[in-house]
A and B are shown apart, each in its own frame.
Chain A
Amino acid sequence: MKKFLIAVSALTMLGGAAISSAQASPSEDLKQFRAYFFKKFPGVKLQDYANGIYALDATRRFEWEAMEEFPPYEDGVEVGKKLFNKYDLGSCFQKGGIGIKQYYPYWDKKTQKVRTLEQDIMACLKKKGVDTKKAKIGWKKGKLAAISAYMAYTSRGKPTSVTIDPSKASLNAYNKGKIFFYAKRGQLNMACADCHVYNAGMLIRGNLLSPALGHTTHFPVWRRKWAKKTAAKKGKSGPLDGFGTIHRRYGGCNKQVRAKPFKAQSETYRDLEYFHTYMSNGIKLNGPSVRQ
């Protein structure tokens, strides 16, 4: 039992229909990735993919649009903005940190690693002398996610613009992310692609599976499930309860198949984010967004 929690049982998944081979260039991958979805969902336009399952199902979309009328994340974004200003985070970023989320994640030449927005926010907080432990600023939710949500909010409407650096180390990171995405894992032996490529649009029990194309545009998300869980734990609800970063989601989706989740901001998830986000290049940011 235990061994399945860690072991990736098959690395042969790259034979799948959406990606040609491990060696294909990122731009070839991108072309095939979307060609696959365009064929599968002929009525759905590229920009619609930003809306996840709501791009596929009219009834669910109707409910969702009603939720977005009075967005439950609005107060949380306001908290994020206050924190952003309070700690003068704009000074650590280009353009004062406004309207730049579309460039994340990026290849950091200095460290030779993929770098995420959350990492840059955390580094800036440290630079400003914030005791993040004392201020209870963690990686996956709460205040950090709120700051990230505010920065996402200021980037709404900008097309995802991730550059895959052509250096060997960067391509290696990209490929690691891609392999992770297609590799079966966990006791239940499922890959991200099993649910979000090959069976996108299908129902797993009552859950409609979203296409991976457009997945990254609306993070951090506000999930009702997370909001309920946090509120139940604290005994009262607060404006940040529903927020979660994309790494929080990765962890949840790993746990679903009884695989051991990786740490938020681990190299594994950052590489995954690099590949995953690049696939959505050109799709406009619309975060934060509400999800179930």
Chain B
Amino acid sequence: MRKSAKLITAASSVALLLGALAVVPGVASADEALAAQGKKIAENRKKGNCVACHDYKGAHLAGNIAPPLVAMKARFPDKAKLRAQIWDPTKNNPNTIMPPFGKHEILSEKEIDAVTEWVWSL
């Protein structure tokens, strides 16, 4: 049992390393793997750096400029709307301090997909 658990973690981290979205049966779903990838991007200072402004469960030294990221599925039943907020928050609020991650090419489209998946899981 122990052994297989180890194997499973190893498998999923390999999948992450490759950026592969393949479903490993019985382990993390593709969505979860994508979300895990998104979390890394979100916490990378040179990438999303969402934690500079947003708090969320498990965040380390978060800023307090922005609303905490919680219950996101309830607040954004439509995932596309959530993605749009990350891609270009100035659409909703031209004065927002939140950077337009897609519009200004701070993150790639793929990276935004991953971050969206992660935020949606919060």
Smallest CB gap from A12: residue in B: B94
Q: Would you call B94 and A10 a contact (CB within 8 A)?
A: yes
* Least Cβ–Cβ distance between A169 and chain B, in angstroms: 30
Cα-based distance from A40 to B51 in the complex (angstroms): 24
> For window 67-98 of chain A, which residues contact chain B by CB distance below 8 Å?
none
Which of A123-131, A144-152, A199-207, A220-228 is found at the contact surface with chain B? A199-207
In the complex where A202-B65, A203-B63, A204-B52 touch, is A1 in contact with B105 (Cβ < 8 A)?
yes
Residues in A neighbouring B52, C-beta threshold 8 A: 204-205
Q: Would you call B61 and A206 a contact (CB within 8 A)?
A: yes
Residues in A neighbouring B85, C-beta threshold 8 A: none
Cα-based distance from A12 to B65 in the complex (angstroms): 21
Q: Would you call A188 and B94 a contact (CB within 8 A)?
A: no
In the complex where A204-B63, A205-B51, A205-B63 touch, is A4 in contact with B97 (Cβ < 8 A)?
no
Smallest CB gap from B53: residue in A: A204
Interface secondary structure of B, over-half rule: loop
Which of A20-28, A52-60, A189-197 is found at the contact surface with chain B? A189-197
* Least Cβ–Cβ distance between A117 and chain B, in angstroms: 32
Q: Would you call A202 and B64 a contact (CB within 8 A)?
A: yes
Q: Would you call A190 and B63 a contact (CB within 8 A)?
A: no
**B104 adjacent to chain A (CB < 8 Å):** yes
Q: Would you call A198 and B97 a contact (CB within 8 A)?
A: yes
Cα-based distance from A207 to B65 in the complex (angstroms): 11
**B92 adjacent to chain A (CB < 8 Å):** no
**A138 adjacent to chain B (CB < 8 Å):** no
Cα-based distance from A195 to B99 in the complex (angstroms): 13
Cα-based distance from A13 to B99 in the complex (angstroms): 15
* Least Cβ–Cβ distance between B50 and chain A, in angstroms: 11
Chain A 169-211, CB-CB to B under 8 Å as 1, else 0, gives: 0000000000000000001111000110011001111110000
* Least Cβ–Cβ distance between A171 and chain B, in angstroms: 25
Interface secondary structure of A, over-half rule: mixed
* Least Cβ–Cβ distance between B44 and chain A, in angstroms: 13
Chain B 86-119, CB-CB to A under 8 Å as 1, else 0, gives: 0000100011010110001110000000000000
Cα-based distance from A189 to B94 in the complex (angstroms): 10
Task: Find the residue from A10, A12, A188, A194 having the highest chain B CB count within 10 A.
Answer: A188
Q: Would you call A205 and B62 a contact (CB within 8 A)?
A: yes
**A16 adjacent to chain B (CB < 8 Å):** yes
Residues in A neighbouring B65, C-beta threshold 8 A: 199, 202-204
Residues in B neighbouring A188, C-beta threshold 8 A: 99, 104, 106
* Least Cβ–Cβ distance between B39 and chain A, in angstroms: 17
Residues in B neighbouring A206, C-beta threshold 8 A: 61, 63
Which one of B97, B100, B104 lies within 8 Å of A194 (CB-CB)?
A: B97
Residues in A neighbouring B49, C-beta threshold 8 A: 205
**A15 adjacent to chain B (CB < 8 Å):** yes
Q: A16-B95, A206-B61 are in contact. List 13 more A-B contacts (CB 8 A).
A: A1-B105, A12-B94, A13-B95, A187-B106, A188-B99, A190-B99, A199-B97, A202-B64, A203-B65, A204-B52, A205-B49, A205-B61, A205-B63
Q: Footprint of A on B, CB under 8 Å?
A: 49, 51-53, 61-65, 90, 94-95, 97, 99-100, 104-106
Top 6 A-B pairs ranked by shortest CB distance?
Answer: A194-B97, A188-B99, A205-B52, A203-B63, A204-B63, A202-B65
